Chain A
Amino acid sequence: MARIAVLIAQRLGLGVLILFAVSLIIMFVVELLPGDTCQELMGQGATPQTLQACRAALGLDDPMHERYLSWLGGMLTGDMGISLANQRPIDELVIRRILNTFFLAGIAAAIAVPLSLMLGILAAMYRNSIFDRIVNVSTLTSISFPEFFVAYILIFIFAVELGMFPSVSNVHADMAFQERLYRSLLPALSLTLVITAHMMRMTRATIVNLMASPYIEMARLKGIRGMRIITYHALPNAFAPIINVITLNLAYLIVGVVVVEVVFVYPGLGQLLVDAVSNRDMPLVQAGALMFAAVYVLLNLFADIVSIISNPRLLHPR
Chain B
Amino acid sequence: MDKLRELENEVRLGRLSRRSFLARASALGIAGAAGVPLISERAMASSPSVGGQFRIGIGSGSSSDSMDPGTITDTYMQVVNYGLRNNLTEVTPDGELIGELAESFEASEDARSWTFRLRDGVEFHNGKTLDANDVVETMNHHRGEDSESGARQLFDDVDEIVAEDDRTVTFHLSSGNADFPFLMNDYRLTICPVVDGELDLSGNGTGGYILDSFDPGERTTMSRNPNYWKENAAFFETVEVLVMRDSTSRTNALTTGDIDVMNRVAPSSVNLVGRGGNVRVEQTSGNQHYSFPMHVDREPFDDWHVRKAIKLAVDREQLLQTVLSGHGYVGNDHPIGRANRFFHEELPQRQFDPEEARHHLREAGHENLQLTLKVSDAAFVGAVDAGQLMAETMAEAGIDLRVDRVPSDGYWSNVWLEEPFVASYWGGRPTEDWMFTEGYAAGANWNDTNWDNERFNELLREARAELDEDRRREMYHEMQELVHDDGGSLIPIFANYIMGLSDEVQHGEMANNWDLDGLKCLERWWFA
Interface residues of A (CB under 8 A from B): 33-35, 39-50, 53-54, 56-57, 83, 85-88, 93, 152, 155-156, 159-160, 163, 166-168, 170, 172, 262-265, 267, 271-272, 275-276, 278-279, 281
Contacts and interface: CB of A to CB of B under 8 A. Distances in A.
Interface in B307-358: none
B66 A172 contact: no
Given A34-B410, A155-B252, 9 more contacts: A41-B71, A42-B150, A44-B73, A44-B412, A57-B148, A86-B66, A156-B252, A265-B57, A281-B64
B217 A275 contact: yes
B255 interface: yes
Contacts of A56: 146
A155 B63 CA distance: 25
Interface string B225-269: 000000000000000001111101100110110110000000000
A33 B407 CA distance: 12
Contacts of A40: 410, 413
Interface of B: 57, 62-66, 71, 73, 145-150, 152-153, 213, 215-219, 242-246, 248-249, 252-253, 255-256, 258-259, 409-410, 412-414, 416, 445-446
Contacts of A267: 215, 217-218
A162 to B, nearest CB: 10
Nearest to B245: A262
Contacts of B252: 155-156, 159-160, 167-168
A168 B148 contact: no
A163 B153 CA distance: 50
Contact of A160 (B213, B219, B256): B256
B412 A50 contact: no
A155 B251 CA distance: 11
Contacts of A44: 73, 412, 416, 446
B412 A275 contact: no
B413 A47 contact: no
B249 A275 contact: no
B150 A45 contact: yes
B146 A53 contact: yes
B174 to A, nearest CB: 17
A34 to B, nearest CB: 5
A86 B216 contact: yes
B413 A262 contact: no
Contact of A35 (B148, B218, B249, B413): B413
Given A50-B148, A275-B62, A35 B253 contact: no
B244 A168 contact: yes
A43 B73 contact: yes
Given A34-B410, A166-B258, A279 B244 contact: no
A264 to B, nearest CB: 7
Given A50-B149, A170-B219, A264-B249, A271 B255 contact: no
5 closest A-B pairs by CB: A85-B64, A86-B66, A39-B413, A35-B413, A167-B252
A45 to B, nearest CB: 4
B256 A170 contact: no
Contacts of B246: 262-263, 265
Given A44-B416, A86-B65, A53 B147 contact: yes
A168 B147 contact: no
30 contacts: A33-B410, A39-B412, A40-B410, A41-B73, A44-B446, A45-B150, A46-B413, A50-B147, A50-B152, A53-B146, A93-B63, A155-B252, A159-B252, A160-B252, A160-B255, A160-B256, A167-B253, A172-B215, A172-B219, A262-B246, A263-B248, A263-B249, A265-B253, A271-B217, A272-B217, A275-B63, A276-B64, A279-B62, A279-B64, A281-B64
Contacts of B65: 86
Given A46-B413, A152-B248, A276 B150 contact: no
Contact of A265 (B66, B145, B244): B244
A50 B146 CA distance: 8
B441 to A, nearest CB: 14
Contacts of A167: 249, 252-253, 255-256, 258
Nearest to A55: B148
A283 to B, nearest CB: 12
A168 B55 CA distance: 12
Which of B252, B258, B414 is packed against the most chain A CB atoms within 10 Å? B252
A262 B218 CA distance: 11
Contacts of B147: 50, 53
Contacts of B64: 41, 83, 85-86, 275-276, 279, 281
A168 B150 contact: no
B54 to A, nearest CB: 15
Given A48-B445, A152-B248, A265-B249, A170 B152 contact: no
Contacts of B245: 262
Given A42-B73, A279-B62, A281-B64, A34 B414 contact: yes
Contacts of B152: 47, 49-50
A39 B417 CA distance: 13
Nearest to A51: B148
Given A275-B64, A276-B63, A54 B248 contact: no
B244 A54 contact: no
Given A152-B248, A263-B246, A34 B217 contact: no
Contact of A50 (B66, B150, B215, B217): B150
A57 B147 CA distance: 10
Given A49-B152, A159-B256, A262 B249 contact: yes
A147 to B, nearest CB: 12
Contacts of B66: 85-88
Given A42-B150, A47-B152, A263-B248, A168 B413 contact: no
